[in-house]
Amino acid sequence: MVDSAATIGNGVGIGAYSVVEGDVEVGDGTWVGNHVNLRNGARIGKRCKVFHSAVIGEIPQDLKFGGEETTAVVGDDVVVREFVTVNRGTKALGKTEIRDKSYLMAYVHIAHDCMIGENVIMANSINLGGHVEIGDWAILGGAVQVHQFTKIGRHVMIGGGFRVVQDVPPFILAAGEPLKFSGINAIGLRRRGFSGGTRKEIKESYRVLFQRDKHQAEALAEMMENYPYSAEVQEIISFVENSERGLI
């Protein structure tokens, strides 16, 4: 059932028993499976695959939501597997967004006002609270639970089954209960073209931040002094300085 007001691109396929409401856009070449619900406010990019029984654009599970017009934006080349739910935003941000080439496996829940970067992989049964931010190329293992307002940096890998209740800075592995720093994501960084020298700078910087008995401000100053021209170290410093929930 496709509302005549919906904007449907060229070469789109829509499966049996799916419902597409009027304030919905679906980009060229996207495939929508069976029993999918694309609710008002859903914006689906080009060449996406939305598998059976997914729901995109449903109203937030937020008692403060007042019926305002907001969106759930899915970029290009995104894969949304079975039973994924993506709620639209609230007046706080106005949208929930999943950027290009990300992969959401079955039963993932993306709450209101979340911002998911490019090339993010989220394994089965992950739940995100509202206002979560996840950087590009992050990988989250199955059944990870992420507290609202938490930030996860770029190129992070989080082990399956753990809870994320504080911010996870970029380029690292995180595991354990409570969640903690488990080294840098060396294999992922190498696969994505980070040089050996850059990986060493990241590793040495985290040794200063996490493994020495220093106040955080002193550690950041030492990192700045040691690697003043490293874009990656500057990214780590900026992430730490802007953390509101504190670091794992």
Task: Indicate which residues carry an active-site annotation.
Answer: 112-113, 130
Rounded alpha-carbon distances, angstroms, from residue 242 to 184, 229, 235, 247: 20, 20, 11, 10
Distance of CA 125 to the CA centre of its chain: 14
Q: Could you tell me if 21 and 3 are in contact, meaning their C-beta atoms sit under 8 angstroms apart? A: yes
209 vs 203: CA distance, rounded Å: 10
Provide the 8-state DSSP code for 147.
Answer: -
Q: Could you tell me if 209 and 215 are in contact, meaning their C-beta atoms sit under 8 angstroms apart? A: no
Cβ-count burial 183-204 (b if 16+ within 10 Å, e if not) = ebbbebbeeeebeeebbebbee
State the maximum Cα–Cα separation within the chain, in Å, rounded to a whole number.
64
244 vs 248: CA distance, rounded Å: 12
Q: Prior bond to 60 cis, omega within 30?
A: no
Residue type, 44: I
What DSSP line would sit under 74-141, residue for residue? E-TT-EE-TT-EEE---TTTSEEEE-TT-EE-TT-EE-TT-EE-TT-EE-TT-EE-TT-EE-TT-EE-
